[in-house]
Amino acid sequence: EVLLVESGGGLVQPGGSLRLSCAASGFTFSSYTMTWVRQTPGKGLEWVSAISGSGSATYYADSVKGRFTISRDNSKNTLYLQMNSLRADDTAVYYCAKEGCSSGCSFDYWGQGTLVTVSS
């Protein structure tokens, strides 16, 4: 059974940093592109970032480019999102998701999400 479990969310002040983790199990983690998606309060889903199976390729939404860094540790089956210079509009539930194939597919499995609140 595929399982994705996010952690690391919480309350942080504007300008602060936070690192999210996503522990994966039930599939060959290193074979799949992994993604972070967020849902801001009262709004829709927003794609945030993706990383290839090997970690050699990374992609970012313009809204987070230069502030967020996606990474993965395939030896630990874990995906990360380092979030720096956080702003109020980064407040959201952050989901990790697995692509449905090695690359270029929609997401077949999602975690339950972790809430990040940016507020003073």
By the rule CB under 8 A, 1 interacts with other proteins:
no
Q: How far is the CB of 10 from other proteins (least distance, A)?
A: 18
Report d(CA 67, CA 86) in Å as an integer.
Answer: 8
Q: Which residues 2-41 are close enough to bind other proteins by CB under 8 A? A: 35, 37, 39
CB of 9 to other proteins, least distance (A): 14
Cα 16 from Cα 84, distance rounded (Å):
6
Is 75 a residue that touches other proteins (CB under 8 A)? no
Which amino acid is located at 19 in the chain?
R
* Site for other proteins, residues 76 to 115, rule: CB under 8 A: 95, 97, 99-100, 104-108, 110-113
CA dihedral 76, 21, 65, 92 (to 10 degrees): 160
CA distance 93 to 66: 20
Contact residues: other proteins, CB under 8 A: 35, 37, 39, 44-47, 50, 59-62, 95, 97, 99-100, 104-108, 110-113
